[in-house]
Amino acid sequence: MPTYEYLCESCGHTHEMQHAMKDAPETVCPSCGGALRRLISGGTGFILKQAASSGPCGSGGDCSLERTGQTCCGSNRRCGKPSCGEDL
């Protein structure tokens, strides 16, 4: 059964709840009674980006910032490590 994370739009309280995918989302905050919003999260085993094939920057060995808009470590700017194209 999946775990869902909720955020109260009134008090900011967050909590997790397990329920079936077919069940309706929770709507009332258990802390203040305010409106809840279900957050989207990756969950266990959910991959959001392509894994590098080998080494810190993949098989090419160069920084992917110019190709993908992110470095090999997921940043949107150079981190200063040699693997991200900077000479130290």
DSSP-derived secondary structure letter, 51: P
pLDDT score at 13:
92
3-state helix, strand, coil in the chain (%, to 5): 10, 20, 75
DSSP reduced 3-state for 78: coil
pLDDT score at 88:
41
Dihedral sign for Cα 34, 21, 49, 67, please: negative
- Write down how long the chain is: 88
pLDDT score at 55:
47
Q: What is the mean pLDDT of each run of 10 residues along the chain (88 residues)?
A: 89 90 91 91 59 49 64 70 53
C-alpha–C-alpha distance, residues 16 and 50, integer Å: 27
